[in-house]
């Protein structure tokens, strides 16, 4: 018969906090684990016939101490059954790191209780571990609540399926809206009689009056005879006594633009 949940434990209605933005690493605890391994005080590996577990000073985490390392992070819940078992071991004089139970033994011990628990579900020591937060209702029935992974001694919270799908769908909708807005700005006009057509503004071709340099060039290029020059001087002298109205020159008209429909 399973033992009832201890007082002060969490309820399944408690939603796990959203800590997706948190990355946790405890260098002091890792240094302490490296010193224990250097002194040969690590607990024996159950799967290696009682021989000491292989240690790496740069990455001291193993299946035996990874749960103790996870307990120092903000992802751990002090109301869980893991904390109750850890407190009982300390009260009995058992050190969790040197002589306590490993992750697999702790999982078997948790089957005696009901309530919130943390279990190591995947391990590739010393760089990758996956820990699951779940609610146990019987020795054989559990409900997953959240997942956490440890990569290169750093602990992260794994996103749930809803967060992943919501983020992907939001990115997809934003891309569709951007592409449709760009197409809407570039689409041509539509007329029932002519169909789709575009409007282009083109200037009128330049006129002769708009280019005085060409006339000047023609004047410089024409040669006149001396007799013609004397005749023009006589004509100018005869017109000196005639008063002519002053000539008014207005601004030249700007070239007009026409609209062309294709």
Q: Over the chain, what is the mean pLDDT?
A: 75
pLDDT of residue 249: 58
0.75 exceeded by the pTM? no
Domain ranges of the chain: 27-161
Task: Tell me the pLDDT band of 193, cut-offs 50, 70 and 90.
Answer: confident
Task: Tell me the pLDDT band of 89, cut-offs 50, 70 and 90.
Answer: confident
d(CA 68, CA 76): 10
d(CA 42, CA 33): 8
* Ramachandran bin of 191, using left for φ above 0, alpha for ψ from -120 to 50, beta for the remaining angles: beta
Which alpha helices (DSSP H) does 78-194 contain, by range?
A: 81-91, 103-110, 161-186
Which residues are bridge partners to 131 per DSSP? 120, 148
List pLDDT tens digits, range 216-232. Answer: 545 544 455 555 455 55
**Encoding tokens for residue 67?**
């749960």
pLDDT of residue 42: 66
pLDDT of residue 194: 73
Backbone angles phi, psi at 186, to 5 degrees: -100, 0
HSE (side-chain half, CA atoms, 13 Å) at 87: 8
Question: Per residue in 186-208, is it b (16+ CB within 10 Å) or e — as a string?
Answer: eeeeeeeeeeeeeeeeeeeeeee
d(CA 84, CA 203): 87
HSE (side-chain half, CA atoms, 13 Å) at 68: 23
- Confirm if 26 and 73 have CB atoms less than 8 A apart: yes
The three-state secondary structure class of 71 is coil
| CATH code for the part of the protein at 27-161 | 3.10.450.580
d(CA 252, CA 51): 104
Is the pLDDT at 101 greater than 60? The verdict is: yes
């Amino acid at each position: 018969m399973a033992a009832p949940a201890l007082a002060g434990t969490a309820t399944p209605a408690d939603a796990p906090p959203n800590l997706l933005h948190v990355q946790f690493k405890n260098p002091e605890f890792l240094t302490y684990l490296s010193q224990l391994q250097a002194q040969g005080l690590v607990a024996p590996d159950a799967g290696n016939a009682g021989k000491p577990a292989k240690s790496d000073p740069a990455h001291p985490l193993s299946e035996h101490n990874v749960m103790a390392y996870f307990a120092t992070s903000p992802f751990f819940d002090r109301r869980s059954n893991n904390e109750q078992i850890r407190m009982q071991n300390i009260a009995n004089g058992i050190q969790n790191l040197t002589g306590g139970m490993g992750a697999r033994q702790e999982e078997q011990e948790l089957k005696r209780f009901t309530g919130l628990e943390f279990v190591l579900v995947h391990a590739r020591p010393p760089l990758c571990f996956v820990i699951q937060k779940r609610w146990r209702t019987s020795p054989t029935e559990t409900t997953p609540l959240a997942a956490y992974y440890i990569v290169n001694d750093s602990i992260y919270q794994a996103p749930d399926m809803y967060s992943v799908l919501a983020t992907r769908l939001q990115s997809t909708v934003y891309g569709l809206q951007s592409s449709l807005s760009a197409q809407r700005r570039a689409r041509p006009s539509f007329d029932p009689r002519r169909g789709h057509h575009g409007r282009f503004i083109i200037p009128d071709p330049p006129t002769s009056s708009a280019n005085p340099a060409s006339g000047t060039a023609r004047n410089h290029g024409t040669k006149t005879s001396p007799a013609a020059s004397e005749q023009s001087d006589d004509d100018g002298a005869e017109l000196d006594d005639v008063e002519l109205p002053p000539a008014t020159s207005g601004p030249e008209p700007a070239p007009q633009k026409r609209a062309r429909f294709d």
